[in-house]
Structure 1
Amino acid sequence: MDGKMLARLGAIIFVAVAITATAIEMTRKEEAPVSAPANLQQAARNPLREEQHRCQQLGQKAADDSECMRAWAETRDRFLGRTPAPSPPFQNEGH
């Protein structure tokens, strides 16, 4: 087998693989986009999340805000999987 014949054979195999991959991709069914679950919509009304956003807007002053400290402590405990302190869960009290 000379070099030209080997190059032609390689090109034919490459084209055959490309055509096969294209045919497979074209026959795949597209999955319908998943709508946002209901629990994500409820997260928008989460008072802890709202307080976190308020604290974020305060910037450096949030370090002196007791409500921000309480919200951050609850967030940290939730993230780490700790049992919350005996105090009641965070409730947004008009902020």
Structure 2
Amino acid sequence: MEGKTLARVGAAAFVGIAIAAAAIEMMREGKPVVPVTVEVSTAPVNPMREALARCRFMGEAATRDPGCLRTWADNRDRFLGKSTSAEGR
């Protein structure tokens, strides 16, 4: 056989095998169901975390919200180990 003919036969065989595998997969029934678990936290609510989540949800509007600006400043100060706005400002 010539090289071109051999390549065509090989390609046709590959396509046939791929179609057969897809047909077998589509005919399968009873795929296993993976149970979904949801973890519920019983930890106390952190007001700083809730405020940060609210500001994150607001998107660009949070950059003009005084509450978000204050929350970000308090979080930055807490991260850097400085006194919080309620204590030292």
Normalised-by-shorter TM-score class: 0.3 to 0.5
TM-score (norm 1): 0.43
Larger relative contact order (Cα-Cα within 8 Å, sequence gap ≥ 6): 1
